[in-house]
Amino acid sequence: MAIDERHHDARLKKARGMSYGIGLLKGMAITLRHLFKHNSVIQYPDERQDLSPRTRGVIALKEENCTVCMLCARECPDWCIYIDSHKETLPPKREGGRQRKRNVLDRFAIDYALCMYCGICVEVCPYDALFWSREFEYAEYDIRNLTHEKEKLSDWMSTVLPPPELEDGALLPGQPEPAVAGNGAPAPAAQAPTQPATASGAGDPSGTQTKQAAPPAASGDSDATQPSNTASLRETPSPAAPAAEATPPPEKAAETPPAAAPPAETPKAAEPKAAEPEPEAEPEPAKLSDEVVAQYQAEPGPNVEVPHEAPHPVALERTEDPEAVYQQVLQEQKDKGSSPQVAEARAKVARVKAERGIKRGPTPVEVEKPVPSAPTKGRPAEPEPGGAPEAKGIEPEPGPVAPTDEEKS
Amino acid sequence: MYEINLVGIEFTITAWQLLIVKLLVILTVVPVGALAGGYAMHKELGHLQHRLGPMYAGGFHGWAQTLADGLKFIYKEDIIPANADKRVFTLAPAIIFVPVMLLFLVIPIDRSLIIEDLDVGLFYLLAIGSVGVIGVLMAGWSSANKYALIGALRSAAQLIAYELPIVLTAATVAMLAGTLSITGIVEAQDWPFILWPPGIGLIAFLIFLVGAIAEMNLPPFDMPVAESEIITGAFTEYSGMRFIFGFFFAEMAHIVAFSGIAATLFLGGYRPIVPWAPLENIPGVIWFFGKFAFMFFFIIWVRFTFPRLREDQLQKFAWKFMIPASLALVLAAGAWVLYAPESLWR
């Protein structure tokens, strides 16, 4: 081996022949070229770099989102998060109800002298209480000052960037994956991203049928989580609304969280009923989904389970102008007595959905009626982690904490 | 009593006064030149690497950076190792630095702007230029440190190897000019030696340049001070002012001096680069400093382009290539002087 290399070396030398020194000149040409290239220095205190939005500068705490679940502190590899809390007992929300306990955050501190900026706490937080901020200038003369208490961590919140815009065609939270296979129903499928890939994957006749039939169901599915989230969250802050109807569900929902969480486990029998509570607006899609369900029940196949992910109110068939939707939802919400911010936020969500061609399910207020029968249908009663902060962020009242608290207790 | 005609102003001055003025000039020119050279080097290196170099000290583009560096070193503690030979150890930096200062004596900036126009100027340059290595040997030996000793011995070996080509190319220049006086050499260059006589001057220039870079211990010939292996060689144990005078300052002044010498011997010094009447109107100072700046830039450019050679490669290159080549060059120059027709000389 070594001999071969030497031989090779010798041949190379021969090949170079008289070209000794060319390499030196090439090297000097390279450095000379770089001498006249523009320098890449950012003179830091005088000039500021536009840092990437995902820069790991400092971790900010959104205090009202923290439920003292301790996940961050436990996952932290450096153990640099300190959390103290105490329990408070809240009076029952209505007469005869039971008392509720909830955790109150006393201390939340991150020791940045220990932190290694791995970001595990930010990722592990189920309630979006921790965020990365791009700020990085918090050097201190005393190492003790590097432990940021919750007041300081909350102050960093003002420097957190808003979440990035979704790409065109991106899925909203709770929206099912679009089918991968190319065949199937063109028009409705395009309108609403439809079946889970598994459903159509086999390519059997029933599969195609489901696809054609699926859109309404699936699109309803896309909204299934959201209305229910907001519904379960909402009942506390707006007692002025027809809350008498709304109050029971959260309790029930709270009692059955495990069953409710994965919608796929829904009993098949529940399917038709799931369509029932549909608001009066559009009966047709509901029927359609009934048919679909019946078909699935008739032909048990490998894919049978999947379509049952539709234990939800089916979408309203509205082909709307986003602005009109916005105004409509805003008005609806105001009529129901939601606070202005909440109304606006929901209206915005509705508008975004309308813009993206996602069929809008009943707005949270509309869902309130069907909710009483929800537990039997396995409606996802507890908010998804992703859905929670949105609602909480909008409503800073103590209410939002309650559902998560119930979930714990 | 001397009668001086400086830029049209005539006055007389005694020998002592003249000597003091000359000393003052040297004592200002060398440090200022070294500081300015250091600053220029920082800047050039920075831009070679897409950086800016110093930007803050002094306000405007960090012009005072090297001054601030020097002040910092002056404030540092002067440490002498316990096992060191103290007298030799403290004396060594002066022996390195003073000869470098003396090099500036014979470099003409303009036709009459020279501190001492010695008849044996070239000989003086070569003689003084090799005194510094004695200081390096003293520093390395007295430090009682193996790295310092290795560095010093490498430095001595390198000086011996590369002083020969320098001397031989300088002899070539002297033969072509027919004189050892520096001003005489400049006056002989109607065409700079680098352009004429064809080939001989250019090759002599390149060999001289390589030898000078090696003698100054600059990369790619910086084994004596190789920081990654023997930690600035002979100066491992030095600190504070001795370190900066013996090492940084001397090195910088050396580069400045050799830039001036190369510009004088091969590029025609204060004379125009081509014998063309309109160019004669440009003051000699501007010609000199233009050529000097080019040489300085070139040396720094080379310095920061090439990686360090190995010690044996360096010696091989000197003894197997540089010295034979310069000997051949002396022969060629002799042949040119003897046999080239007079009309070709100018």
Which residue, A122, A142, A159, sits at the end of a domain?
A159
In a shared domain, residues A135 and A192: no
The answer to whether B306 contacts A27, with C-beta atoms less than 8 Å apart, is: yes
Residue A40 lies in a domain: no
- Of A24, A28, A39, Cβ closest to residue B52: A39
Q: Does A31 touch chain B (CB under 8 A)?
A: yes
- Of B47, B305, B306, Cβ closest to residue A39: B47
* CA–CA distance, A132 with A215 (Å, rounded to integer): 38
Nearest CA in chain B to A27: B305
* CA–CA distance, B176 with B172 (Å, rounded to integer): 6
pLDDT of residue B328: 92
Using an 8 Å Cβ cutoff, are A341 and A394 in contact? yes
pLDDT band at A377; cut points 50, 70, 90: very low
**Could you give phi then psi for residue A126, rounded to 5 degrees?**
-80, -15
The residues near B261 (Cβ < 8 Å, ≥ 6 apart) are B103, B107, B125, B212
- Of B50, B305, B306, Cβ closest to residue A37: B50
Tokens of B328: 């051949």
In a shared domain, residues A72 and A203: no
Closest CA to B264 of B121, B156, B89, B167: B121
Neighboring chain B residues of A24 at a CB cutoff of 8 Å: 306
Mean pLDDT of A195-224: 41
pLDDT of residue A385: 46
* CA–CA distance, A155 with A148 (Å, rounded to integer): 10
pLDDT at A176 over 50: yes
CATH number at residue A139: 3.30.70.3270
Cβ under 8 Å to B: A residues 33-52: 34-35, 37-41, 43
pLDDT of residue A124: 92
Q: Does B48 touch chain A (CB under 8 A)?
A: yes
**Domain ranges within chain B, ordered by starting residue:** 76-345
- Of B48, B51, B301, Cβ closest to residue A41: B51
Tokens of A224: 């299934």
Using an 8 Å Cβ cutoff, are B179 and B185 in contact? yes
pLDDT of residue B52: 85
CA atoms within 13 A on the CB side of A365: 23
In a shared domain, residues A146 and A230: no
* CA–CA distance, A256 with B4 (Å, rounded to integer): 109
pTM for the full predicted model: 0.60
Residue A14 lies in a domain: no
The residues near A402 (Cβ < 8 Å, ≥ 6 apart) are A90, A93, A100, A102, A236, A250
**Cα B308 to the chain's mean position, in Å?**
20
Tokens of B126: 């070569």
pLDDT at A135 over 50: yes
Neighboring chain A residues of B55 at a CB cutoff of 8 Å: 43
Neighboring chain A residues of B306 at a CB cutoff of 8 Å: 24, 27
Q: What is the pLDDT of residues A338-358, one digit of tens each?
A: 777 788 888 888 888 777 766
Q: Does B321 touch chain A (CB under 8 A)?
A: no
Neighboring chain A residues of B50 at a CB cutoff of 8 Å: 34, 37-41
The answer to whether A24 contacts B55, with C-beta atoms less than 8 Å apart, is: no
Neighboring chain B residues of A30 at a CB cutoff of 8 Å: 305
The most confident of A156-165, A191-200, A256-265, B7-16, by mean pLDDT = A156-165
Within 10 Å of residue B52's Cβ, how many Cβ atoms?
16
In a shared domain, residues A350 and A237: yes
What's the Cα-to-Cα distance from A286 to each of A183, A363, B336, rounded to whole Å?
24, 16, 108
pLDDT of residue A7: 60
Q: Does B301 touch chain A (CB under 8 A)?
A: yes
Within 10 Å of residue B130's Cβ, how many Cβ atoms?
16
Residue ranges in chain B whose pLDDT is less than 50: none
Neighboring chain A residues of B305 at a CB cutoff of 8 Å: 27-28, 30-31
pLDDT at A186 over 60: no
- Of B51, B302, B306, Cβ closest to residue A39: B51
Q: What is the pLDDT of residues A32-80, one digit of tens each?
A: 888 888 878 888 888 888 888 888 889 999 888 888 889 999 999 999 9
**Could you give phi then psi for residue A97, rounded to 5 degrees?**
-75, 175
pLDDT of residue A265: 43
The answer to whether A40 contacts B302, with C-beta atoms less than 8 Å apart, is: no
In a shared domain, residues A240 and A306: yes
Beta partners for residue A90, in sequence order: A100
Residue A190 lies in a domain: yes
pLDDT band at A309; cut points 50, 70, 90: very low
Residue A17 lies in a domain: no
Shortest Cα–Cα distance, B323 to chain A (Å): 18
In a shared domain, residues A283 and A356: yes
Q: Cα(first)–Cα(last) distance of chain B, in Å?
A: 38
Computed over every residue of chain A, the mean pLDDT equals 65
In a shared domain, residues A148 and A225: no
ipTM of the prediction:
0.74
Tokens of B190: 């109607």
Choice among A2-16, A93-107, B138-152, B201-215 with the minimum mean pLDDT = A2-16
- List the domain range (segments joined by +) for residue A267: 186-408
In a shared domain, residues A196 and A111: no
In a shared domain, residues A278 and A150: no
Exposed e or buried b for every residue in A370-393, given b needs 16+ CB within 10 A?
Answer: bbebbbebbbbbbbeebbbbbbbe
Residue A330 lies in a domain: yes
| Dihedral of alpha carbons B298, B303, B308, B314, sign | positive
The most confident of A223-232, A300-309, B5-14, by mean pLDDT = B5-14
Residue A150 lies in a domain: yes
Domain count, chain A: 2
pLDDT at A6 over 70: no
pLDDT of residue A264: 45
In a shared domain, residues A118 and A210: no
**Could you give phi then psi for residue A306, rounded to 5 degrees?**
-60, -50
In a shared domain, residues A111 and A148: yes
The answer to whether B44 contacts A35, with C-beta atoms less than 8 Å apart, is: yes
* CA–CA distance, A294 with A308 (Å, rounded to integer): 11
pLDDT band at A4; cut points 50, 70, 90: low
Closest CA to B298 of B205, B235, B222, B215: B205
Within 10 Å of residue B321's Cβ, how many Cβ atoms?
14
pLDDT of residue A244: 42
Residue A387 lies in a domain: yes
pLDDT of residue A395: 43
pLDDT of residue B70: 82
Closest CA to A363 of A187, A236, A247, A229: A229
Within 10 Å of residue A241's Cβ, how many Cβ atoms?
19
Amino acid letter, residue B135:
G
The answer to whether A41 contacts B305, with C-beta atoms less than 8 Å apart, is: no
Q: Does A104 touch chain B (CB under 8 A)?
A: no
Residue A32 lies in a domain: no
Nearest CA in chain A to B55: A43
Burial class of A65 by CB neighbour count within 10 A (0 to 12, 13 to 18, 19+): buried
Which segments of A306-400 does DSSP mark as H helices, in order?
A: 322-336, 340-356, 364-367, 374-377, 388-394
The answer to whether A41 contacts B50, with C-beta atoms less than 8 Å apart, is: yes
* Structural element, H or E, at residue B13: strand B9-13
Which residue, A159, A174, A201, sits at the end of a domain?
A159
Neighboring chain B residues of A39 at a CB cutoff of 8 Å: 46-47, 50-52
Which segments of A192-282 does DSSP mark as H helices, in order?
A: 197-201, 205-234, 243-246, 248-255, 257-260, 270-275
**Could you give phi then psi for residue A52, rounded to 5 degrees?**
-60, 150
Neighboring chain A residues of B302 at a CB cutoff of 8 Å: 28
The answer to whether A28 contacts B44, with C-beta atoms less than 8 Å apart, is: no
Q: What is the pLDDT of residues A237-246, one digit of tens each?
A: 444 444 444 4
Tokens of A184: 């199937």
In a shared domain, residues A245 and A112: no
Using an 8 Å Cβ cutoff, are A146 and A111 in contact? yes
Q: Does B313 touch chain A (CB under 8 A)?
A: no
